[in-house]
Structure 1
Amino acid sequence: MNGQTQSKMQLRARENPRGKKRYLALACALMLSVSMLTGCQGQQANDAASSQVQSVSEQAGGFAGGSGTAQDPWQVATAEQLNRVREQLSGHYVLTADIDLSPLGSFDPIGTFEPKSEKEEDAETPSDAAAFSGTFDGAGHKISNVAVSSKYQNGVGLFGCISGEAAELKDLTVENIVVPSSQMYVGGIVGYANGKELSGLTLTGKSSVTGHFLVGGVVGASHADIKNCKASATVILSGDNTQGAGLIVGGGEDCNVEGCEASGAVEAKGTGCYSIGGLAGCFHNSEYAKNCTADSVTITAGEKSTLIGGLAGHAGTQSGAATQITDCKATNITIQAADTASRIGGIVGGGFYLNAYSKYYPEPTAFDVVNCTASGKIDGGRFVGSVAGYVHNNAVVKDCTAQIAVNGNSNAEQIGAAYDSWKDVGAI
C-alpha cells in the first residue's frame, strides 16, 4: 500500500436575533406606564431566553446536544452539524436524524490522509492528528446524496481517513454517494481506515467510487477489521497497472472481514490491473475472512490483468498461519476477462505473487479456502478455476462446491493451476 491530503471548514457564528419592540402611543398615562412596565419585563424575558439558548449552543459545541465525550457524544442532526465534525476530529458523535447533503453541493471528506512522517517507512501510515480519530455512531440513520469534492486525491470518501486506537465508525447507511476519480485510498464511506473497527456500514442507492489504487465501495484501504457491512454499488479501478478493487474493501491488510455482503459491479479499466474481487481486492496478511457473500456481482478486467476472484482478488500471508477463507459464498458471479488476463477464480484468484515484487514476496502468499460455495460464469483468461485460479503448495482448497461455467465448461476444475514453478504465472 502507498499514499498522501486538505482543508477544514470554519464554523459560522450563530446569532440569536431579538425582535424589535414597537411601542404604541397611548392617550392614557396609566396605560402607558403599564405598557412600559410590561415591555421591560418582556424584554428581560427575551434576554434571558436568548442567553439560555446561547449557553446551550456553546455547551453543545454547535451540535444538537451532547458534550463530545464517549459517555455523552455530540448529537448530529443536520448537514451543517455534520460539517462541524471536522473541527473536533477526536470527538465522539452520534447521528440523531437522516441527513440529505444535496443542498451542500460538493462535500469535503471528514479527516484527511497525511503520512505520519517524511520517513519512507511512514509513507503509508496516517497521521492521527489529521485523520478522524474519534467515534461516529450512525445509530441506524442515513446520510444521502453525497457528492465528494474532486479536489482531494488521497484518502477520499465521506470520511477521508480514520486512524487511532479508539477510532470507530458504526451503524451508518450512506445512500447515493459519488466519489470522483481520485488517486489512492478511495472509498464510498471511508478512504483509509486504520482504527479499531468498521461495523454495520451500508452503502446503497446509485453509488459509484472511482480511483487508481485501493478502491472500495465501503472502504478503500483498511487495516481495521470490517464486520457486518453491506454494499451495492459500482467500483471502478482506472488506469494501467493499478491495484485493488472490491465492493466492500479495495485492499484489506492485517484486516479481518466477517459477515459482509456485496452486490453490484467492479470494473478494472486499464491494462495490467491486479487484485480485483467482488467483495475485496485482497485479504492480505489477514487472519481470516468468514461468513461473507458476494452475490450478483459483475467483474470486468482488461488485458494482462491478474489475481481476480468472485470474492477476493488475492489472499494470504507471507509467514505464519495461512489466511482462512471459510463459509463464504460467491453466487451468480459474472467475470468477463481479457484472454491475456490470468489467475482467475470463483472465490479467489490466488496468493499474492508478481515477478515485479519477487524481492519482497519470493513466493505466493498462503491461504486456505474451506467450505465455500461459488456459482456463475467466467469468460476469458488463463489459469482459471471454479474456486481458485492458482494454488501454490502452501495453499489449500477444501470442502468447497462450485457451479461455475469456465469459458463454457460447466465441469471445470476447482483449481486452475498448481505449479511448482510459480514464476510462470507471475508476469503481467
Structure 2
Amino acid sequence: MKKLFSILLALTLALGMNAAFAESSPYAGGTGTAEDPYRIATAEQLLALSAAVNDGSAGGYYGACFVLTEDLDLAGIEWQPIGQMDLADQSNVSCMFMGVFDGQGHTISNMTFSSDYPIVGAGIFGMNLGEVKNLNAKNITVTCTDTFSNAVGAVVGYNMGMVHDVTLSGENSIAGVNCIGGIAGGNNGAVYNCSVDGTTIRVLGDNAFPEGRIVQADVAECGGLVIGGSFGGSIDNCTAKGTVIAEGNEPIALGGIAGCLEMMDTVTNCTADVTITTVKGGHAIGGLCGFGGSHSNGNIIAETEGVVTTKYPSEITNCKVTAVINAPGATHVGGLFGTGLYFYGEETAFKVSGCSVKAEITGAVTPGAVAGRSVNSVIESCEADVTLDGEALTAETGETSVMYESADQGEEEAANDAA
C-alpha cells in the first residue's frame, strides 16, 4: 500500500497536464465531442481504444467522449486494460484514460486478463483519470500474481476520476496481492451508484510479523467487494454481495465494501452481504471495512471565510452490513470496522455513525461487534447483532492491545534512533 501512496503523489503532480488526442478515428463514427461522441460497436473497436491509450499516441483521449452502442462479448480475446501506469515514469499520464466512457446501459462480458509481471492497474480499464459510467460488466476474470502488482479490479484497476452507475454481475473472480476490488482495485476518486454481485475477491500472498508487531504490508493486503483500497475520494450508494478470500498467511485489510478506507471524504448509504474467509490469521477485518481513518488522531478543524467547521476524518454513515467472517487466529476484527491505522506515530481516527451489522464471526481473537479496535474514534447510533463462535458478542469494540502500524513507522523509528 505504501507504493500506492507514492504513485498517488506522482499522478497528482501530473494531472495539470493537457494532452491532445489523435484526430483519426478507428471507431464506428463520431468526433469525440460530447455532442458527437466516438461510437464503439465491436470488441475490435474497444481494443483499438485500449491500444491508442496505452501507447500514448492519443494523449489518454483527454476530454474525449465515447459511447458503447452494443453489448460486447470479449471471450477468447487477449485483453489489455484501457490505460496503464508507466512504471518507468509514474508522472506520465498520457498512457492513462482521461476521457469519458458512457456504456449507455450496455454490457461487457467474459473479459479475462492475467499477469505474472509487475503492473499497476488491471481490469477492463487499467488507469482511469476520466469518467466511466452507465456500464454493466459480467463474468470478469482478472488475475495478477506478481508481488509488486497493485490495483486489480474487474471494471477499473485504479480510479482517480469518477466511476458511477456501474454494475458487476454473473460469476466474477478477481485475484491479486494488493488492492483487489470488484468495481475498482484502488481508488482516489468518486465511486457511486455501483453494485456488485456474484463476485469472489481473492487476496494472494503471505505475511509474517515478528515480535508480535503487525505492520502494514504490500502483499496480501486490501481486498473488498466494491473497492480494494481507497486513499481519498468517496464511495456512496453502493451495494455488494460476494466473497472475500485470503489464500495465504496473515492477510491485512479485508472488508465487504472496501479493504481499507483512508482519508475519505464520504462513505455513505452502502450495503454489503459478504463472506470473508482467511486460511491462517489476519488483521484488520470488518464486514464493511478492514482499516480506515485519516492521517489524524481526531477532529479536523478548518476555517473558510471566517466560518469555523469541525469535520471528523473518514466518517462512515448509514451503511448496512450482513457478514460471515471466518478468520481463525485473526486480530483487529469487527462486525463493521477492523481498526484505525497507526501512521507516523499516531493512531488514526475514524467515525462510524448510523450503521448496522448482523454478523457471525468465528475464530477471531477478541473481536468487537462494531470495531476490532477503536482509539480516538467515534462509534455512535450503530446497531449490532453479532455472534462470536456461536455466542452473542456484546462488546462494541474489541480488546486488541497491539496497534496496527504503518510501514513508515519503522522508518520513523530508525530515523529517531539515528538522530
TM-score computed with the length of structure 1 as normaliser: 0.77
The separation in 2 between residues aligned to 1:206 and 1:269, in whole angstroms, is 19
Distance 1:267 1:187 in 2: 15
Q: Identify which of structures 1 and 2 has the higher relative contact order when contacts are C-alpha pairs closer than 8 Å and 6+ apart.
A: 2
| 1:230 pairs with one of 195, 203, 218 | 195
Distance in 1 of aligned mates of 2:168 and 2:403: 39
- Which segments of 5 or more consecutive residues in structure 2 lack a partner in the other structure? 8-21, 53-57, 208-219, 301-311, 408-419
CA distance in 1, matches of 2:134, 2:240: 17
Q: Specify the SS of the correspondent of 1:416.
A: coil
Q: Partners of 2:239 and 2:72 in 1: how far apart? A: 24
8 Å Cα contact 1:113-1:192 kept in structure 2: no
Go from structure 1 to structure 2 and tell me whether the alpha carbon gap of 1:98 and 1:218 turns closer, same or farther (over 3 Å shift): same
Sequence identity of aligned pairs in percent? 37
Query: Which whole-Å CA distance do the structure 1 matches of 2:204 and 2:115 have between them?
Result: 15
Q: 2:128 aligns with which of 162, 182, 186?
A: 162
Report the equivalent of 1:82: 46
Alignment counterpart, residue 403 of structure 1, candidates 385, 406, 417: 385
Residue of structure 2 in register with 1:329 after alignment: 320
1:294 counterpart residue number: 272
From 363, 380, 383, the equivalent of 2:366 is 383
Distance in 2 (alpha carbons) for counterparts of 1:191 and 1:390: 30
Q: Following TM superposition, by how much is the alpha carbon of 1:411 offset from its aligned partner in structure 2, in angstroms?
A: 4.1
Q: CA deviation at 1:70?
A: 2.8
Partner residue of 1:71 out of 29, 35, 45: 35
Structure 1 distance, partners of 2:395, 2:241, is 25
CA drift of 1:423 comes to: 4.1
Query: After the TM superposition, which residues 50-61 of structure 1 pair with which residues of structure 2 at under 5 Å, given as runs?
Result: 61=25
Corresponding residue of 2:144: 181
Answer yes or no: is the 8 Å Cα contact 1:115–1:126 preserved in 2: no
Alignment match, 1:215: 180
What CA RMSD, in Å, does the superposition of the two structures yield over aligned residues? 2.2
* 1:240 corresponding residue in structure 2: 206
Q: Distance in 1 between matches of 2:404 and 2:92?
A: 37
Aligned-partner Cα distance in 2 for 1:115–1:194: 17
Name the CA distance, whole Å, in 1 between partners of 2:91 and 2:40: 26
Shift, 1:243, TM fit: 1.1
Matched-pair contact (CA < 8 Å) for 1:346–1:387: yes
Instruction: Select 2:26's aligned residue among 56, 59, 62.
Output: 62
Number of matched residues? Answer: 350
Paired with 1:316 and 1:405, the residues of 2 have a C-alpha distance of: 25
> Given the two structures, how large is their TM-score scaled by the length of structure 2?
0.79
Amino acid at match of 1:329: K
Partner of 2:353: 370
Change in Cα spacing, 1:361 to 1:300, as seen in structure 2 (3 Å) is: farther
> Cα offset for 1:301?
2.0
Q: Does structure 2 retain, via aligned residues, the 8 Å contact 1:255–1:284?
A: no
Larger radius of gyration between Structure 1 and Structure 2: 1
Verify the 8 A CA contact 2:116 2:144 in the aligned structure 1.
no
Structure 2 CA distance for aligned equivalents of residues 107 and 234 of structure 1: 20
Superposition deviation, residue 365 in structure 1: 1.4
